[in-house]
Chains A and B, each alone.
Chain A
């Protein structure tokens, strides 16, 4: 495995697989959050399950965290290696002529998403961990929706979330579709798959934006 990860293709595949894994997680996360805008009860129910189920908490959660960390550490490693592969830069480089902005700036969209993750952890994950595993506070299966609503009171935070989701869309626009190429999937189904991936890259972040805005305005209403 160590040897495998040394090769450029293995790194690329690892990047793709971890990305695909995160895309899958994103879909799951979105589905649960989406319930929040029409049914506080359903949202509470699902959140309670996720927050207390030992398989989710002690098996899936560490895997997810590993996936996230791996994806961005590998992203940095690749970026540094790739920068080094061209020691002297072009005086004039017309990158826009042959590749999309999204594909050329994954590191920047990725960095914004990483910063967002910091905020997001600070908002939800850390308080949650403290709540459960530091303070050992008693579980209230109906607390989730209110906690969620609290966070979207601030227009600044809501704005930051919205902006981050835009970058998420940019990152997914290139990343999702290109992960199939990385794992060697390029055939007659690729056109359809690419369309699906591009649609996903817009619909999911847009959905998150809608959720944020609905929660924000619901509360202020």
Chain B
């Protein structure tokens, strides 16, 4: 199939960027979206131009590196997958496809379609852990039984891949789904209880400092999340935060 691509090009963080049009042909339905970009880049390199820079690594939907706002939606029109798992059979011959970086003040563009998501790392560093030494001198793994339902919910929250689609989809560029997934994982497990108060305060505080927007419950994040992280996590974080604020 033949496609028109409208791709955001930006030399570096300081430069102005703009949308540039590219024509591409010979695209097959079996290709993944990123393989389609590989073809474009191979063309560009052969023409002596600079290839389009984008984040990607595992290409099997788990590392969370790939991003891309495709036709106005993070990870494209398909649901519950990342861009690397999006296949070109979802598009038609002659389509025009807008490809832009995930946009948020807290995700500055590094180059072209690549953005800096280190804000997420800093949110985790603020308290997204259990302060237990890694010596292994801890209690036996089966010493504390955990209700299966809670363990499963904690797992579901923990499957967040940190890709930033929630921020990209949100009209407010809010990072509540990401932050709440981590808070929830620990809130649901006995191991996370000891530091629960400080954790939620510190992580929300860091989230705010990074310049993400406020949650207005549009639910776009949940719909676009490639791992289907539930809005319930946001409600849980709100609860945890209120509890912690009243306590602390």
Which listed residue, A8, A11, A87, A174, touches B217 by the CB 8 Å rule? A174
| A156 sits at the interface (CB 8 A) | no
B residues within 8 A CB of A81? Answer: 213-214
| B112 sits at the interface (CB 8 A) | no
| B88 sits at the interface (CB 8 A) | no
Closest-CB distance, A109 to chain B (whole angstroms): 12
B residues within 8 A CB of A92? Answer: 6, 69, 71-72, 98, 100
Contact, CB under 8 Å: B245 / A4: yes
| B242 sits at the interface (CB 8 A) | yes
Contact, CB under 8 Å: A178 / B105: no
User: Could you name 12 residue pairs across A and B whose Cβ atoms are closer than 8 Å?
Assistant: A8-B213, A8-B214, A10-B245, A13-B238, A78-B216, A85-B104, A90-B72, A99-B220, A103-B216, A103-B217, A185-B235, A186-B231
Complex-state Cα separation, A6 to B106, whole angstroms: 18
Complex-state Cα separation, A89 to B238, whole angstroms: 28
**Given A12-B238, A86-B213, A183-B238, 19 new contacts (CB under 8 A):** A4-B245, A7-B205, A8-B207, A8-B213, A11-B214, A78-B216, A85-B212, A86-B105, A88-B109, A92-B72, A94-B72, A97-B77, A98-B169, A98-B218, A103-B219, A181-B231, A183-B239, A184-B236, A186-B232
> Interface on A for B, CB 8 Å cutoff?
4, 6-13, 78, 81-82, 84-95, 97-100, 103-104, 106, 174, 178, 181-186
Interface centre among A4, A185, A186 (most CB of B within 10 A): A186
What DSSP secondary structure best describes chain B's contact surface?
mixed
A residues within 8 A CB of B104? Answer: 85-86
Report the interface size for chain B: residues with CB under 8 A from the other chain. Answer: 50
Complex-state Cα separation, A161 to B248, whole angstroms: 46
| B124 sits at the interface (CB 8 A) | no
B residues within 8 A CB of A90? Answer: 69, 72, 100, 103
A4's nearest neighbour on chain B, judged by CB, is B245
Which listed residue, B17, B211, B242, touches A184 by the CB 8 Å rule? B242
Contact, CB under 8 Å: A84 / B235: no
A residues within 8 A CB of B215? Answer: 8-9, 12, 182
Complex-state Cα separation, A75 to B225, whole angstroms: 26
Contact, CB under 8 Å: A184 / B235: yes
Complex-state Cα separation, A82 to B77, whole angstroms: 24
Interface centre among A84, A92, A95, A186 (most CB of B within 10 A): A92
| B171 sits at the interface (CB 8 A) | yes
Closest-CB distance, B103 to chain A (whole angstroms): 5
Q: Mark B93-129, 1 if CB is under 8 A from A, else 0.
A: 0000010100111100100000000000000000000
Question: In chain B between 61 and 111, which residues have their CB closer than 8 angstroms to a CB of chain A?
Answer: 69, 71-73, 77, 98, 100, 103-106, 109
Complex-state Cα separation, A10 to B207, whole angstroms: 13
Closest-CB distance, A97 to chain B (whole angstroms): 5
Complex-state Cα separation, A185 to B217, whole angstroms: 13
Complex-state Cα separation, A183 to B173, whole angstroms: 20
> Interface on B for A, CB 8 Å cutoff?
6, 8, 17, 19, 69, 71-73, 77, 98, 100, 103-106, 109, 169, 171-174, 176, 204-205, 207-208, 211-220, 223-224, 231-232, 234-242, 245
Contact, CB under 8 Å: B105 / A8: no
Complex-state Cα separation, A202 to B217, whole angstroms: 19
Contact, CB under 8 Å: A97 / B217: no
Closest-CB distance, A90 to chain B (whole angstroms): 6
B69's nearest neighbour on chain A, judged by CB, is A90
B residues within 8 A CB of A106? Answer: 216
A residues within 8 A CB of B173? Answer: 82, 85-86
Knowing A9-B238, A85-B105, A86-B105, say if A95 contacts B204 (CB, 8 Å).
Answer: no
B residues within 8 A CB of A11? Answer: 214
Contact, CB under 8 Å: B171 / A99: yes
Closest-CB distance, B202 to chain A (whole angstroms): 11
A residues within 8 A CB of B71? Answer: 92, 94
Knowing A86-B213, A91-B98, A95-B72, say if A186 contacts B235 (CB, 8 Å).
Answer: yes
